[in-house]
Homo-oligomer: A and B are copies of this chain.
Amino acid sequence: MPSKTTLLVCLVVATLIVHSQPQAPTKVKKDRIELQFALDKGGTPWYSVFFNDKEAIRNSSLGFSLDSDSLFYKNFTLVSQERRSIDETWQPVWGEVSIIRNSYEELVIHLRHNSGKLLDIDFRVYSDGVGFRYKFPKQRGLRYFIIKDEFTQFRLTGDHKTFWIPGDFDTNEYSYTTSKISEVDARPVVIAATDIAVRTVRDSFSVQTPLMMKSADGLYINIHEAALLDYPAMQLHVDRTNFILSSNLVPDAYNNKAYLRAPARTPWRTIIVSDKATDILASRMILNLNDPSVIQNPSWIKPMKFAGVWWEMQTGKSTWNYSDFPDSTDDKGQLIPNERHGANTANVKRYIDFAAKNHIGGVLVEGWNVGWEDWFGNWKENVFDFVTPYPDFDVKAITDYAKAKGVKMIMHNETSGSATNYERQMDTAFRFMKKFGYPAVKTGYVGRIIPRGEHHDGQWMVSHYERVLKKGVQYQIMVDVHEPTRPTGLQRTYPNFMACEAARGNEYHAFSNGNNPDHETILPFTRLMGGPMDFTPGIFKLKGYVTYAPQRSVHSTLTKQLALYVTLYSPLQMVADLPENYAAKPDAFQFIKDVPVDWDDTRILEAEPGDYVTIARKEKGRDNWFLGAITDENARTSVVKLDFLTKGKSYRATIYADADGADWKSNPEAYTIRKITVDSTSRLELRLAPGGGTAVSFIAIE
């Protein structure tokens, strides 16, 4: 379905010209949220945000340093301001809900700098927060220009509890630290994170967004951005003494931040505020601030679960590389096979069989194309060519086999960080996918970026990711990006942007010491605020799965792995474990077979960042519901009302729960399954083990 926008109300409320400075603040209110805006005596713009008449963001200044004007943050006068109210709805192509309401009060500020240059600021006040962006109108005296720095402040009202990862230019794959604002210090975290290949942190007191905070008096505040296009990612520098966050844009080789041409606009800076944590997760503000879909007919975009020849490489059972010797060949000039290559035709067919049997839509295969012998960590320009398979990977035969079985193949294009190499060959790569009927691609950016001097989160790479999405639109290919900058709701504009990584996924349980048990309770409040994550849930063998490091364990119980299919939303959701590990537990696997990846409705039943999340979702187009509940390292019991179920209807509930004595550390695979009949008046007690979770399917009884 195309995302259809219905404009219900659109009226310009006021246009007034104010020349005298300073002025009383302009106030815009929407339900419990109020925005105030004014210029101070020096002509610096500032804003503040109130929740229930209580300050949430104190008066915070706005502005820039431009290449042509280092003082583009003061000496402004107000030219005029406009207001309007919008209340519209639209339908996403896929998502957590089938209809999204976009209702806000808009305030557009037109400023003139004493240099003569013009600057606009758009504020949109929602019932759950505020978004604003800068606009550089078309004007004389400002055409091509460089953002040297953006000076956007978010002044906090106190020393909030914060869930943060370091402000790294090249990765979002850190574990979260929970601390007070005054305790933020990225340095020790970065030094300790030896399991992350490329780390680039210049400011120990910068953190990534989405940044989740909680005030001492119980206010939840989330700061992020929306519609990050043609601009670097915004990180936040933390003033630990005065509790001021300020924008820190990811630079290029010249320490420039963005190259723009007027008319231009920045991404939206977003502040979501509520006294209920569940409201944060239910917010659609970031999606709403993105532009409508560019895809006229998105019928080729189909959410799906997928299996993959992948976890077996992560865990050491097989290899991405065909040979153990990078450029050594045998008598016949052929690479010498190591006999452990995962992406061989027979093994891939085994996964296709597995997917077909269990109604899993797709199969991803990594390590299929030549170059994996020395792809990693060499910062080399020419890595892969994206079209040449290893000799034991028969593209045509696999394509035919998958087609006959009704399974879609997912292409894998690892760039190793050499984006220039990928851009040169992208057209050829996408033509190759089209030729062999691959409807989706997983791209990857492991390693230091080429162009050298650029970073994963800088403007050039942000535009690169968009170029890949556009190429996907051109060739009708869905895209799942690994190691990009974190998402900002672009899936509204590019609904073929199905998912990305940009956070610490389940894979860290394979090649490192893993994730904290509270990790998945923080992700929805941070990384997932911007869009779906390819987290790769569903690991069933939770101990002894890494051949070369048998002591490793997944820091989760088995039913928590099930619950993640509901709590961590993605329209491309991996069924990550090996087929044989699912075969050993067919009763638990039933939930993965049943759980959908596209929803009509979503209810955030309970949530507290770092502690627990319980979500119920209604299957797209059917009257079935699925519930996921997870907890951190602490056991948890709660009772949830099932009043989201259709009134008067009975449901067959299958409850996948931690067994007595289950524990993420000592006994992660103990689970129980029980079936009961419920309706909308029922209550369900959830008993979660330490590091545990519960998954429930509610199938309507017709």
Chain A residues within CB distance 8 Å of chain B = 138, 143-144, 252-254, 256, 259, 261, 326-327, 374, 378-381, 420, 423-424, 426-427, 450-454, 460, 463, 467
Contacts and interface: CB of A to CB of B under 8 A. Distances in A.
Copies in the complex: 2
A486 B426 CA distance: 30
B420 A452 contact: no
Nearest to A423: B424
A486 to B, nearest CB: 22
A621 to B, nearest CB: 40
B420 A451 contact: yes
Given A420-B423, A453-B451, A460-B452, A378 B144 contact: yes
A378 B261 contact: yes
Nearest to A451: B451
A13 to B, nearest CB: 31
A566 to B, nearest CB: 40
A254 B143 contact: no
5 contacts: A143-B374, A144-B374, A254-B453, A261-B380, A451-B460
Contacts of A451: 253, 420, 450-454, 460
Given A138-B327, A253-B453, A451-B452, 7 more contacts: A144-B374, A144-B380, A256-B452, A381-B460, A424-B424, A451-B451, A453-B453
Contacts of A420: 420, 423, 451
A381 B453 contact: no
B423 A254 contact: no
A379 B259 contact: yes
A452 B256 CA distance: 10
A452 B381 contact: no
A252 B423 contact: no
B452 A380 contact: no
A454 B452 CA distance: 8
Contacts of A453: 252-254, 451-454
A16 to B, nearest CB: 30
Of A451, A454, A463, the most chain B CB neighbours within 10 A belong to: A451
For the complex of A and B, 7 pairs with smallest distance between CB atoms: A253-B453, A453-B453, A451-B451, A253-B253, A144-B378, A423-B424, A253-B452
Given A380-B261, A381-B259, A423-B423, A452 B144 contact: no
A259 B144 contact: no
Nearest to A230: B381
A389 to B, nearest CB: 22
A277 to B, nearest CB: 41
B254 A452 contact: yes
A449 to B, nearest CB: 10
A100 to B, nearest CB: 32
A296 to B, nearest CB: 21
A452 B420 CA distance: 12
Contact of A452 (B252, B379, B427): B252
B144 A379 contact: yes
A256 B380 CA distance: 13
A253 B453 CA distance: 5
Contacts of A326: 143
A254 B453 CA distance: 7
A252 B463 CA distance: 22
A531 to B, nearest CB: 25
A636 to B, nearest CB: 49
Contact of A380 (B253, B259, B467): B259
A151 to B, nearest CB: 23
Contacts of A138: 327
A71 B194 CA distance: 28
A326 to B, nearest CB: 8
Contacts of A374: 143-144
Contacts of A327: 138
A504 to B, nearest CB: 27
A580 to B, nearest CB: 37
A140 to B, nearest CB: 12
A265 to B, nearest CB: 16
A143 B374 CA distance: 10
A420 B450 CA distance: 11
A326 B138 CA distance: 12
A256 B254 CA distance: 15
B463 A381 contact: yes
A424 B381 CA distance: 15
A429 to B, nearest CB: 12
A378 B261 CA distance: 9
Contacts of A467: 424
A275 B259 CA distance: 54
A596 B380 CA distance: 44
A464 to B, nearest CB: 9
A614 to B, nearest CB: 46
A380 B264 CA distance: 14
A144 B448 CA distance: 14
A401 B273 CA distance: 68
Contacts of A460: 381, 451-452
Contacts of A252: 452-453
A426 B259 CA distance: 23
A379 B259 CA distance: 8
Contacts of A381: 259, 460, 463
A361 to B, nearest CB: 32
A360 to B, nearest CB: 35
